[in-house]
Amino acid sequence: MNVSVPKETAAGERRVALVPEVAGRLVQDGLEVTVESGAGEGAHHPDAAYEEAGARSGDGFSGDVVVKVAPPSADEIGRLAEGSVLVGFLQPLTASETIRALADRGVTSFAMEAIPRITRAQSMDALSSQATVSGYRAALIAAQELPRFFPMLTTAAGTVRPAKVLVLGAGVAGLQAIATARRLGAVVQAFDVRSAVKEQIESLGARFLELDMGLEDAEAAGGYARALTDEEQQRQRELLAEEIGKMDAVISTAAVPGRRAPLLVTEQAVKNMSPGSVIVDLAAETGGNCELTEPGETVVKEDVIIAGPLNLAASMPDHASSLYARNVQSLLGLMVADGELSLDFEDEVIAGACITRDGQIVHEGAKQAAGVTA
């Protein structure tokens, strides 16, 4: 069986689906690995490193299984052979045109974001591995942009109080942002609508921000948050606006799968912040948690610095690719038996992650998003 790795073409995408170390392990397991020339460049892995690991240089779309990071462009879909298998982030709930094109092309596709988040599949969880990178980087951006120290300092020139940081949304990215901001010495509070995370927040040395929202818990299927009602959201925004005014930095990571990011930080909340404060809005990709965020830009509004970085994981491509490659390796482990491709659609992970097959969209969420009726 041949696994191939194309060079990513999406703007700003510097990650690669397999790093040389993992390519080498697949070769040792008896697979052939073909890597497009320059595929690892953005992540600082030269072609020679892949060759040393036993991979061949060649067409990145030629494999029985093609492994990618970003969703394929229309051109790239055209390069996939009918009947081939594609593995990558495919945005099945939002990129309906891509999903339809994959089905039409007869590609069996698997979305990394659709892998069920069950214990057995933890090693394949690329949403988590990449969110870890984003959360870490978000805290660094906040520290970098803030015209103040994060840690408390006692110096001959006086004492500096530590920065107050609020993290909104304490999923994987939020928890990593909390941990990183804490390591830099900030005093951190965090808020999430899932009450289950309170303990996790506290175990990182942060305080759970209690908002009197009259909300029991908003955990839904799969451990994700449910979307709040309009009234709940309005109440949350009002309560948050006051708390945000006391912060030096806000790192927002709140998301609900397949939907626009919830709006948590209003213009009024930004006005309440002291001049020079910072907001890093990790939800910029899905519309932003802050009303004033401009996705992909860092802007200054009301003398508050508002960063809306996109695809933050790609800004740390070496480790982001290493973690992603291990997620892919682990998934491939489920797809291969005795060196041959063997897809067991009875397996919950294989079935759950499969988006298109036999010319059809087979994933429920992707079907709904594409308007396919039974």
Q: Which residues contact 320 (CB under 8 A, 6 or more apart)?
A: 15, 43, 129, 130, 133, 313, 314
Sign of the CA dihedral running 339, 357, 113, 39: positive
50 labelled catalytic = no
CA-nearest of 334, 284, 323 to 116 is: 334
Could you say which of 91, 253, 329, 356 contacts ligand NAD (CB under 6 A)? 253
Could you say which of 65, 67, 95, 131 contacts ligand NAD (CB under 6 A)? 131
Among 117, 148, 182, 207, the active-site one is: 117
Sign of the CA dihedral running 114, 361, 314, 193: negative
Q: Is the CB of residue 68 less than 8 Å from the CB of residue 6?
A: yes
**What does each C-alpha distance from 139 to 14, 165, 192, 200 come to in angstroms?**
21, 9, 17, 18
Could you say which of 127, 146, 179, 320 contacts ligand NAD (CB under 6 A)? 127
Of the two residues 90 and 103, which places its CB atom closer to ligand NAD in the complex?
90
Angle between helix axes 317-335 and 20-28 (nearest 10 degrees) is 20
Q: Indicate whether 301 belongs to the interface with ligand NAD (CB under 6 A).
A: no
122 labelled catalytic = yes
Q: What residues numbered 216-245 form the site for ligand NAD, per CB under 6 A? A: 223-225, 228, 236
Counts of helices then strands in the chain (DSSP H, E): 12, 19
Q: What residues numbered 58-77 form the site for ligand NAD, per CB under 6 A? A: none
Of the two residues 40 and 135, which places its CB atom closer to ligand NAD in the complex?
135
Q: Indicate whether 194 belongs to the interface with ligand NAD (CB under 6 A).
A: yes
Could you say which of 25, 56, 117, 182 contacts ligand NAD (CB under 6 A)? 117
Residue least distant from ligand NAD (Cβ) = 171
d(CA 231, CA 164): 28
Give start and end residues of each alpha helix (H) in 80-192.
Answer: 96-104, 126-145, 172-183
176 labelled catalytic = no
Residue 357 pairs with which residues in a beta bridge? 360
For residue 223, the minimal CB distance to ligand NAD (Å) is 3
Q: Indicate whether 255 belongs to the interface with ligand NAD (CB under 6 A).
A: yes
Of the two residues 109 and 327, which places its CB atom closer to ligand NAD in the complex?
327
In the block, tokens 């907001």 appear at: 279
Of the two residues 165 and 173, which places its CB atom closer to ligand NAD in the complex?
173
Q: Indicate whether 365 belongs to the interface with ligand NAD (CB under 6 A).
A: no
| Total residues binding ligand NAD (CB under 6 A) | 30
d(CA 296, CA 268): 22
**With CB under 6 A as the contact rule, which of the stretches 39-47, 254-262, 306-314, 328-336 interacts with ligand NAD?**
254-262
Q: What residues numbered 9-38 form the site for ligand NAD, per CB under 6 A? A: none
CA-nearest of 304, 245, 314 to 280 is: 304
CA-nearest of 127, 146, 128 to 251 is: 146
Q: What residues numbered 155-184 form the site for ligand NAD, per CB under 6 A? A: 168-174
CA-nearest of 210, 282, 225 to 258 is: 225
Among 122, 144, 195, 360, the active-site one is: 122
For residue 190, the minimal CB distance to ligand NAD (Å) is 9
Task: List contacts with ligand NAD (CB under 6 A).
Answer: 117, 119, 122, 125, 127-128, 131, 168-174, 191-194, 223-225, 228, 236, 253-257, 262, 264
**Where in the sequence numbering do the catalytic residues fall?**
117, 122, 125, 128, 224
